[in-house]
Amino acid sequence: MAARSLIFNILFYANLFVFMIVGLPLTVSKRTVWIVAFAWCRSSAWLLKVVCGTKIEFRGLENIPKGGFVVASKHQSFLETFGMAPLFRRPTFILKHELVWLPLFGWYMIQTWMVPVRRGARSKALRQMNADAALRLADNRQIIIFPEGTRRAPGAPPQYKIGAAFLYANSGVPVLPVAMNTGLFWPRRRFMRYPGTAVIEFLPPIQPGLEHADFMTRLQTDIETACDRLLQEAAQDNPALPLPQTALTRLAELAPA
């Protein structure tokens, strides 16, 4: 599996570089730049399946609303960023500001009108994020935010921040919670990729109108409950899958007394 993972990583980043170079002429148009972006996403998922035997299964597609809305997604690996993007018409990721300064990659972030956030600015950053998100939502785009702000290992205790609640309170649109077990097959900060079926599940949307505390409780409960279920399912279906310590600890907590 190590050899396959190495081959995949080489091909994955080579594929990214080729798409960024070849697709540059198409970035002059807001329409054609999405052709490049979605083609890269789909080709990356194809490489992962062919080289490493890792498939992506989507559940709850019927829960995806129409028009503009907020996607509040669990974040366990890089897999879900390119895996679920093509499911939306024009997704807009909330991302750290430093990414727009990366050569070529940052140019694509600018041309696809993503929302960069300066993490150290706190309240000012939240206000700017809300203003930028409002412009995208007015254009019927989908705002993708990772409520914990960074990747978290499967089974790790949740650390939800206020960004998603801020968008929910100010946007007046539904929030679509997303659960997953992708981090079991594409572990964060490691080059290994494991075979199996990584699941990304779209949960029933949270409609506008809840108070801040109620929304945060609902969002975290919905996502974490579904993630626990997907973790248990993956562990049962893939007995040879090496689980991180956080996942083993969580499974022990979920085991019947």
Whole-number pLDDT of residue 1: 79
Tokens of 83: 């895996």
Question: Per-domain residue ranges for the chain?
Answer: 54-254
Helices 163-171 and 123-138: angle between axes, nearest 10 degrees: 50
Rounded CA separation 168/178 (Å): 15
Residue 28: what residue type? V
Residue-wise pLDDT for 105-160, tens only, equals: 888 888 888 888 877 657 787 888 888 888 899 889 999 999 998 999 999 999 99
Task: Please give the order of strands across the beta sheet that includes 115-117.
Answer: 54-59, 196-202, 175-180, 69-73, 142-145, 91-96, 115-117
Q: What is the pLDDT of residues 59-118, one digit of tens each?
A: 999 999 999 999 999 999 999 999 999 999 889 999 888 888 888 888 888 888 888 887
Burial letters for 237-250: b for 16+ Cβ neighbours within 10 Å, e otherwise? ebeeeebbebbeeb
Average pLDDT over residues 156-176: 92
Q: Residue type for 236, please? A: Q
Contact present, 33 and 23 (Cβ < 8 Å):
yes
User: Amino acid identity, residue 73?
Assistant: S
pLDDT of residue 235: 94
**Euclidean distance between CA atoms 116 and 121, whole angstroms:** 12
155-170 burial, b if ≥16 CB within 10 A, otherwise e? bbeeebeebbbbbbee
